[in-house]
Amino acid sequence: MKKVFTTTPKQDGFRMPGEHEPHSEIWMAWPERTDNWRNGAKPAQRVFADVAKQISKTTPVTMLVSSEQYDNAVSRLPDDIRVLEISTDDSWMRDIGATYVTNDKGERRGVDWEFNAWGGFVDGLYSPWNRDDQVAQKMCEAIRDSRYRAPIVLEGGSIHVDGEGTLYTTEECLLHESRNPDLSKEELTAVLCEHLNVDKVIWLPRGLYNDETNGHVDNILHVVKPGEVVLTWCEDENDPQYEISREAYDYLSSQTDAKGRNIIVHKLPMPGPLFMSAEEAAGIDIAEGMEREAGERLAASYANYLITNKQIVLPLLDERYDNDVKAILEDIYPGYEVNGIPAREILLGGGNIHCITQQVPKI
């Protein structure tokens, strides 16, 4: 068993690399919850497999799967994707996996946050969530990396870093009563700075409209590189996202990052608005917590893509905008391959490609 440190990454000289830095592997988890994924999760499993295959062209992939689904997952995934039997409660690897930090000596450690299913008993999406809360520890054990157990509730999708001292998050999520109600904004900032070794936290007011994660930053914004981000943009004045996007843009435009740079903001068109169809809703088992009803607005965003080893894996969500967004990202990321995956099945479960992946940095 590897060591659990009682110090902090900042004290030990470790920092969280930006997503644009090199990766040794990407971790995912196989979907199977029938109260979240329609038709026995078979459509979602096909798309998760497509995402894993695309990532594996540049980065090795590890897929976690339950004992019940092990044979099924192995049969649906190519041989170069490692399948590990590790129990989860659902398949949002970004939020349940370890957040990795590295130092300049070629060492790597995981940060293991407390997880409470996006809100615990206040407004969490399911219970129990204990298997999800164990995933970060099991991930570190499997990779043989030591870890820190952080003292706050936090999901990986609620933070983005630039690798040079700046962290982006939202007040809507981290200051929500269901996360860390006993901590002030200043106290949370201090914990984030200690556990990710950042110098400045940029607090967007809100995340994407109707996002059941209480507004994760990774569904409205992505860090391109230090001093540069993309932001979900809405042109319809009657859409609730219109005001949220402008509020975020104005805020980002008024900020500098940890190195004193003005932040360049690229606008990504918002798909839709998209809604769950009656047929899609009919295929989902009824359960408390998650709203999966016909007509429910889906929290769709092109910002929810993955950067991995000179590749962008992009969710394709709306034929009206897919090609435009691909062209924007190809322009923003010269030298990168931008690959789109039809991702509505992931969206129906409440997130997208960034939400179902977690990177392990190369050392």
What are the residue numbers of the active site? 355
Q: What sign results for the dihedral spanned by CA atoms 344, 349, 350, 354?
A: negative
Task: List the strands of the sheet with 306-307, edge to edge.
Answer: 306-307, 311-316, 337-342
Contact yes or no for 166/225 (Cβ under 8 A): no
- Listed residue (16, 29, 267) closest to 159, CA to CA: 16
Q: Kindly state the tokens that stand for 307.
A: 């950067």
- Listed residue (149, 36, 144) closest to 92, CA to CA: 36
Contact yes or no for 58/311 (Cβ under 8 A): yes
Contact yes or no for 242/181 (Cβ under 8 A): no
Work out whether strand 146-153 and strand 108-114 pair parallel, antiparallel, or are unpaired.
parallel
- Listed residue (175, 259, 275, 163) closest to 217, CA to CA: 175
Which residues, 6 or more positions from 176, have their beta carbon under 8 angstroms from its beta carbon? 119, 214
